[in-house]
């Protein structure tokens, strides 16, 4: 590795990587690299590699670079230099140890947030280049243990959290019963063929955050939405396969999701507040399967809350009083253009919005996305230290009075919580749905 | 059960008002229509006692703490999953199975409906039960439950050993396989998905992953010799007794038969393969180019295509014709033998062929209201609910079941009267 002031966290012991490289030969590495470069990357990779003039303008975009004292090893182009360029320069003749380091850089030093692509005069998408590195490492069997386990869960259960078929249904029934304590005729309609909307969530919701399903059910019920949830796999819209580089598994997950919606003959899929899942169903996974757009429209929760409020189907009883700030999730803002709708929802539901700077499509990533948080505890310290700029953004908003950070994305939510804790910022995080549920008129 | 129809194919309309149900019960869930249209049923809420099922106005004798997944079997029996005192079972026409489980889900019916299977969990052990007989062996987990078309065998993908979360190494050694009648295959795989029975139930195929990027199809535990970058669901050819599956090679999808490439050209995508009942023709949903979808028959794609989705290809009973659902610009329609209908709706359901294949009828939903299309001719019933059309055995008449202004209606009409009554 060259040009690095801060050594990568090589001391990190990750059995997924150690045992992954144990059986690797240089011959196999070269074969897989050639296969990926010849068969899967094509003109896009070549154009990026040929176009980059090493100007470093992308550096200013990256929260890793900015948070780590402008260490060039953490600049977008620096990450490419240490991984893909080196692979190309050596025509694939790299060692197992190189692959391990490349995996650490591609999977834990880059959130695939695409902020840098906006700063590059040529629009070079470093996130794409890091995904190529991840793809090579996946085919070589070198993947951080925690996220590999998550991908294994996806493959075995078609959800991210090892939720068994019966546990899923049981959780929905439990949340329905809980919510009936509040609204006696509320239902979570299972397997309702021909409903207007399929509501889909990510694996962690039934596993750890079942109250989010409760809240969504209340919102959907009060708004009079004709909706359903499946009692089969295919309910989970999340996708760690996309982030480990297992494209075939990503395709299987997205196919299951869309075919579940198609089987239930719904018109739209409304998804909870998740950014990476949005990227997977709206951009990457659908396209890998051959759909230029989602075959059944996908509506992110931000967009859906906006629609319900605009149409007057949900009314606000009393606005949320504590001043809030908004973290713009990369995947739904740079990736989905939902920043103004998020603000419109906040204006209707909250008394005061204090903007973080920079914001909207220029916002800094939470540093959890792109599967980085899913690589687990070995990388946590490095992750939060690599986002000092986010802590500074939040601290500045707090100085102006913000007490709550709204993070309408699961990864962002967890990542921002870690940052708040690490930097002792003394603010709270909330989902947009938490706020809406709290302030809405209920029967 | 209160009879409100003559149950015949004589043209007539019979009505069953359901509005009183809303007064009698605290809640009425989705209405289910019996296959013959002689009955309408729903799970209804009683209050403290819980839930029961109301069929043509009469309730099942015993209430349950919870009832869900009410469905008619093809033979007309009414089936729900119910719980009492924290235990779950299958309830058939109001009579509960003897066996009780910690949970039951995914009820399955044989083609004629004579047999009923269900997945169960009992004290964190997983299995299946058919007609109240549970598998002898149970597993740490079970997915993809499946009943053979004749109901004689049932199968699932099973996990054969416990796995600690985070143990990615044991996982890779292979702890998944298919189990038939509760007996797991000898061989284990990294993953197994989408098992499919031969129509006679005598053989089982499944998509399997041998290693992180090595996929193939296993038939009765034996994988094909060829491996692929990915595979989709297998399907038995009913006559040739071979297995057909989409396989990915060189970045494209091909149709393979017993491991060998069958069609002479690949596609950007290929899935939902179907074989006509006479075994002479094979069709599949394909994407000939990125973002364009159609149906290919024996490897030849239809000229007509759609940009958003094509699904559920189905052959006429004699195999002579083929229909599928097409979606373009947010609107669904039907394509038959490569010709796309003009009528488009917010949703169309599964196309239904007349017995001789000459007519196609489909249920649709648009702006919350249901109706039917017969050979591209609409009937805007404006119903609150409707069920798939049924052709009479001679193909001259249609049975339509709908819910209109709170009344469940069974119509039998000559095809010439479509849209008139
Ligand atoms: S983390 Fe974001 S800004 Fe930094 S290199 Fe990755 S995509 Fe670019
Ligand atoms: S800004 Fe673009 S051209 Fe300049 S170093 Fe970064 S990626 Fe290369």
- The pLDDT tens digits for B314-338 are 999 999 999 999 999 999 999 999 9
pLDDT for the residue numbered B48: 85
Residues 6 or more apart in contact with residue B165 via CB below 8 angstroms? A149, A153, A162
Range A374-402 average pLDDT = 98
Helix A432-439 vs helix A301-310: crossing angle, to nearest 10: 30
Percent of chain B with pLDDT over 70: 100
Count up the domains in chain A and report the number: 3
**Pair A180, A42 in one domain:** no
Is it the case that residue A7 has pLDDT exceeding 70?
no
**Cα of A410 from ligand 1 centre, angstroms:** 19
Q: Which of A127, A143, A159 is the last residue of a domain?
A: A143
Q: Is the pLDDT of residue A4 over 50?
A: no
Q: Which residues of A touch B248 (CB under 8 A)?
A: 248
Is the CB of residue A158 less than 8 Å from the CB of residue A256?
Answer: yes
Question: Is pLDDT of A3 > 90?
Answer: no
Residue of chain A whose Cα is closest to the Cα of B28: A185
Give the atom of ligand 1 at the shortest distance from the alpha carbon of A127: 7
Query: What 3-state class would DSSP assign to B146?
Result: strand
The residue with tokens 């591209």 is B376
Top residue of A135, A166, A244, A254 to mutate, by most chain B CBs within 10 Å, is A166
User: Which residues of B276-338 form beta strands (DSSP E)?
Assistant: 282-289, 292-297, 300-301, 309-315, 322-328, 331-336
Window 252-291 of A, Cβ < 8 Å to B: 252, 255, 259, 262, 265, 267, 287, 289-291
On whether both A373 and A300 belong to a single domain, the answer is: no
Mean pLDDT of chain A: 96
Q: Is the pLDDT of residue B96 over 60?
A: yes
CB atoms within 10 A of CB B49: 11
Residue A7 lies in a domain: no
Residue B246 region by backbone torsions, left for phi larger than 0, else alpha for psi between -120 and 50, else beta:
beta
**Atom 4 of ligand 1 has which residue's CA nearest to it?**
A62
Q: What is the CATH number of the domain that holds A358?
A: 3.40.50
Binding-face residues of A in 146-205 toward B, CB within 8 A:
146, 148-149, 152-153, 155-158, 162, 164-166, 169-170, 173, 185, 187, 189-192, 194, 196
Digit-coded pLDDT (tens) for B139-172? 999 999 999 999 999 999 999 999 998 999 999 9
Asked if residue B183 has pLDDT above 50, the reply is: yes
Smallest Cβ–Cβ distance between B213 and the set A248, A251, A293 belongs to A248
Where b means 16+ CB within 10 Å and e means fewer, B315-329 reads: bbbeebbbbbbbbbe
Average pLDDT over residues B15-23: 96
Check: CB of residue B346 under 8 Å from CB of residue B358.
Answer: no
Q: At A6, is the pLDDT very low, low, confident or very high (cuts 50, 70, 90)? A: very low
Nearest CA owner, ligand 2 atom 3: A52
Q: How confident is the model at residue B44 (pLDDT cuts 50, 70, 90)?
A: very high
Mean per-residue pLDDT, A200-224: 97
Q: Is the predicted pLDDT of residue B388 greater than 50, yes or no?
A: yes
Distance A46 CA to ligand 2 centre (A): 14
Omega within 30 of 0 (cis) for the link into A358:
yes
Which one of A228, A290, A297, A378 would you mutate to disrupt binding with B, by most B Cβ within 10 Å of its Cβ? A290
Residue A9 lies in a domain: no
The alpha carbon of B171 is separated from its chain's Cα centroid by a whole number of angstroms, namely 31
Q: Chain A partners of B29 at a C-beta cutoff of 8 Å?
A: 187, 189
CA distances to A181, A308, A310, A441 from A223, in Å: 18, 7, 12, 10
Evaluate if residue A8 carries a pLDDT over 80.
no
Ligand nearest to the CA of A65: 1
- What residues of A are in contact with residue B188 (Cβ under 8 Å)? none
Q: How many Cβ atoms are within 10 Å of B147's Cβ, its own excluded?
A: 25
Domain boundary among A111, A143, A175: A143
- Asked if residue A413 and residue A370 are part of one domain, the reply reads yes
pLDDT one-digit tens code per residue, A94-143: 999 999 999 999 999 999 999 999 999 999 999 999 999 999 999 999 99
Alpha-helix residue ranges (DSSP H) falling in A81-199:
86-89, 96-108, 115-119, 126-139, 145-157, 165-182
Q: Residue B136's CB: how many other CB atoms inside 10 A?
A: 9
Mean pLDDT for the stretch of residues B222-244 = 97
A75 CA from centroid of ligand 1 (Å):
8
Whole-prediction pTM value?
A: 0.97
Which domain covers residue A171, as residue numbers? 147-309
DSSP A245: T
Euclidean distance between CA atoms A273 and A329, whole angstroms: 10
The pLDDT assigned to B165 comes to: 87
- A56 CA to middle of ligand 2, Å? 5
Domain boundary among A283, A309, A335: A309
Q: Is A60 in the pocket of ligand 2 (CB under 6 A)?
A: no
Residue B339, pLDDT score: 98
Let me know if residue A138 belongs to a domain: yes
Q: What is the mean pLDDT of residues A36-41?
A: 93
Whether residue A244 lies inside any domain: the answer is yes
The partner residue sitting opposite B169, judged by closest CB among A19, A40, A293, is A19
Q: Does A56 touch chain B (CB under 8 A)?
A: no
Within 8 A of A16 by CB-CB distance, chain B residues are 168
pLDDT band at A12 (very low <50, low <70, confident <90, very high): low
Question: Do A243 and A351 sit in the same domain of this protein?
Answer: no
Residues from chain A that touch B190, judged by Cβ atoms under 8 A, are 155
Nearest CA to B207 out of B199, B216, B220 is that of B216
The answer on A281 and A171 residing in a single domain is: yes
Q: State in Å: Cα A87 to ligand 2 middle.
A: 18
**Average pLDDT value for residue range B126-147:** 98
Are residue A164 and residue A297 in the same domain, yes or no? yes
Is the confidence at residue B131, as pLDDT, over 80? yes
| Dist. CA A306–CA B153, nearest whole Å | 50
Show residues of chain B in contact with A232, CB under 8 Å.
106
Q: State whether the beta carbon of A77 lies less than 6 angstroms from ligand 2.
A: yes
Complex confidence, ipTM: 0.98
Token pair belonging to B220 = 């009765």
Average pLDDT over residues A252-269: 98
* The pLDDT of residue B47: 85
Q: Where are the domains of chain B?
A: 1-100, 135-223, 225-340, 353-421
In a domain, A1, yes or no: no
Q: How far is B83 from chain A (nearest CA, A)?
A: 12
What 3-state class would DSSP assign to A188?
A: coil
Instruction: Report the pLDDT value the prediction gives residue A53, as an integer from 0 to 100.
Output: 95
Q: A80: domain CATH number?
A: 1.10.1060
Q: What pLDDT band is residue A1 in, cutting at 50, 70 and 90?
A: very low
**List of chain A residues whose C-beta atoms are within 8 Å of the C-beta of residue B250:** 39
Residue having the nearest C-alpha atom to atom 6 of ligand 2: A58
Closest residue in B to A161 (Cα) is B165
Ligand 1 lining (C-beta closer than 6 Å): A 61-62, 64, 76, 79, 110-116, 126-127, 365
Cβ contact A252–B193 (<8 Å): yes
Nearest CA to ligand 1 atom 5: A76
Q: Give me the pLDDT at residue B49, please.
A: 86
Residue A392 lies in a domain: yes
Question: What is the average per-residue pLDDT within A154-173?
Answer: 98
Q: Is A55 in the pocket of ligand 2 (CB under 6 A)?
A: yes
- The architecture (CATH level 2) of B225-340 comes to 7 Propeller (2.130)
B163 HSE (CA, 13 A, CB side): 24
pLDDT band at A11 (very low <50, low <70, confident <90, very high): low
Distant-in-sequence, close-in-space partners of A177: CB < 8 Å, separation ≥ 6: none
CB atoms within 10 A of CB B245: 29
| A50 touching chain B per CB within 8 A | no
Q: Inter-chain contact A231–B141, Cβ cutoff 8 Å?
A: no
Output the CA A273–ligand 1 centroid distance in Å.
Answer: 22
């Amino acid at each position: 590795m060259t040009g690095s002031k801060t050594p990568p966290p090589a001391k990190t012991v990750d059995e997924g990587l150690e045992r992954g490289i144990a059986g690797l030969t240089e011959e196999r590495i070269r074969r897989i690299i050639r296969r990926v470069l010849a068969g899967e990357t094509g003109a896009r990779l070549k154009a990026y590699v040929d176009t980059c003039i090493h100007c470093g303008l992308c550096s200013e975009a990256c929260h890793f670079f900015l948070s780590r004292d402008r260490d060039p090893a953490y600049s977008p182009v620096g990450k490419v230099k240490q991984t893909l360029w080196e692979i190309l320069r050596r025509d694939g003749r790299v060692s197992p140890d190189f692959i391990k380091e490349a995996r650490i850089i591609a999977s834990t030093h880059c959130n695939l947030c695409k902020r840098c692509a906006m700063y590059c005069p040529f629009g070079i998408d470093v996130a794409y280049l890091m995904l190529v590195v991840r793809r090579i490492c996946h085919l070589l069997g070198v993947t951080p243990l925690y996220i590999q386990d998550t991908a294994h869960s996806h493959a075995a259960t078609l959800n991210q959290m090892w939720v068994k078929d019966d546990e899923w249904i049981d959780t929905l029934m439990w949340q329905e019963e809980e919510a009936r304590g509040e609204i006696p005729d509320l239902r979570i309609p299972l397997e309702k063929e021909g409903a207007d909307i399929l509501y889909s969530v990510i694996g962690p919701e039934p596993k750890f955050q079942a109250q989010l399903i409760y809240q969504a059910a209340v919102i959907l019920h009060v708004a009079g939405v004709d909706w359903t949830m499946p009692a089969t796999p295919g309910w989970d819209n999340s996708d760690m396969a996309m982030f480990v580089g297992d494209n075939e598994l990503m395709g299987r997950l997205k196919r299951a999701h869309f075919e579940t919606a198609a089987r239930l003959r719904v018109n739209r899929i409304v998804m909870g507040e998740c950014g990476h899942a949005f990227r997977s169903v709206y951009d990457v996974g659908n396209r890998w399967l051959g759909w230029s757009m989602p075959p059944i429209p996908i509506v992110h929760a931000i967009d859906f809350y906006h629609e319900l409020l605009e149409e007057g189907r949900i009314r606000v009883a009393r606005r949320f009083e504590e001043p809030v700030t908004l973290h713009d999730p990369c995947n739904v803002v740079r990736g989905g253009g939902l920043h103004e709708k998020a603000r419109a929802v906040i204006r209707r539901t909250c008394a005061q919005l204090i903007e973080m700077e920079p914001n909207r499509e220029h916002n800094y990533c939470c540093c959890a996305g792109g599967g980085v948080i899913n690589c687990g505890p070995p990388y946590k310290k490095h992750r939060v230290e690599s986002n000092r700029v986010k802590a500074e953004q939040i601290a500045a908003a707090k100085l102006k009075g913000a007490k709550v950070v709204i993070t309408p994305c699961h990864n962002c939510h967890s990542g921002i919580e870690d940052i708040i804790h690490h930097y002792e910022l003394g603010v709270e995080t909330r989902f947009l749905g938490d706020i809406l549920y709290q302030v809405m008129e209920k029967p | 059960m209160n009879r409100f129809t003559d149950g015949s194919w004589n043209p007539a309309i019979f009505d069953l008002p359901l509005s009183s149900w809303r007064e009698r019960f605290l809640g009425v869930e989705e209405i289910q229509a019996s296959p013959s249209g002689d009955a309408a049923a729903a799970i209804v809420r009683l209050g403290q006692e819980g839930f029961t099922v109301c069929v043509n106005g009469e309730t099942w004798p015993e209430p349950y703490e919870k009832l869900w997944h009410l469905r008619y079997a093809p033979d007309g029996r009414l089936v729900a999953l119910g719980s009492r005192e924290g235990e779950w079972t299958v309830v058939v026409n109001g009579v509960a199975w003897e066996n009780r489980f910690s949970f039951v889900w995914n009820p399955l019916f044989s083609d004629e409906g004579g047999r009923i299977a269900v997945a169960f969990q009992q004290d964190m052990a997983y299995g299946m039960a058919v007609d109240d007989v549970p598998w002898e062996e149970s597993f740490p987990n079970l997915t993809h439950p499946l009943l053979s078309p004749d109901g004689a065998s049932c199968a699932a993908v099973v996990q054969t050993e416990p796995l600690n979360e985070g143990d990615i190494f044991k996982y890779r050694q292979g702890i998944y396989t298919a189990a038939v009648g509760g007996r797991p295959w000898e061989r284990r795989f990294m993953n197994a998905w989408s098992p499919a029975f031969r129509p006679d139930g005598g053989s089982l195929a499944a998509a399997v992953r041998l290693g992180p990027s090595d996929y193939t199809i296993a038939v009765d535990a034996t994988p094909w010799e060829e491996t692929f970058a990915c595979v989709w669901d297998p399907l038995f050819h009913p006559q040739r007794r071979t297995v057909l599956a989409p396989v990915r090679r060189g970045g494209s999808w091909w149709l393979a038969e017993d491991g060998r490439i069958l069609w002479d050209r690949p596609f950007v995508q290929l899935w939902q393969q179907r074989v006509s009942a006479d075994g002479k023709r094979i069709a599949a949903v394909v994407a000939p180019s990125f973002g364009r979808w159609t149906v290919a028959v024996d490897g030849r794609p239809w000229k007509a295509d759609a940009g958003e989705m094509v699904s559920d290809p189905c052959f006429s009973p004699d195999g002579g014709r083929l229909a599928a659902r097409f979606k373009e610009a947010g609107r669904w329609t039907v394509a038959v033998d490569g010709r796309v209908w003009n009528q488009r709706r917010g949703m169309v359901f599964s196309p239904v062929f007349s017995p001789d294949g000459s007519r196609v009828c489909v249920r649709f939903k648009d702006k919350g209201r249901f109706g039917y299309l017969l050979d591209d001719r609409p009937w805007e019933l404006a119903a609150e609910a409707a069920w798939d059309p049924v052709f009479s055995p001679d193909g001259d008449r249609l049975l339509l079941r709908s819910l209109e202004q709170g009344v469940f209606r069974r119509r039998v009409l000559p095809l010439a009267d479509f849209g008139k009554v």
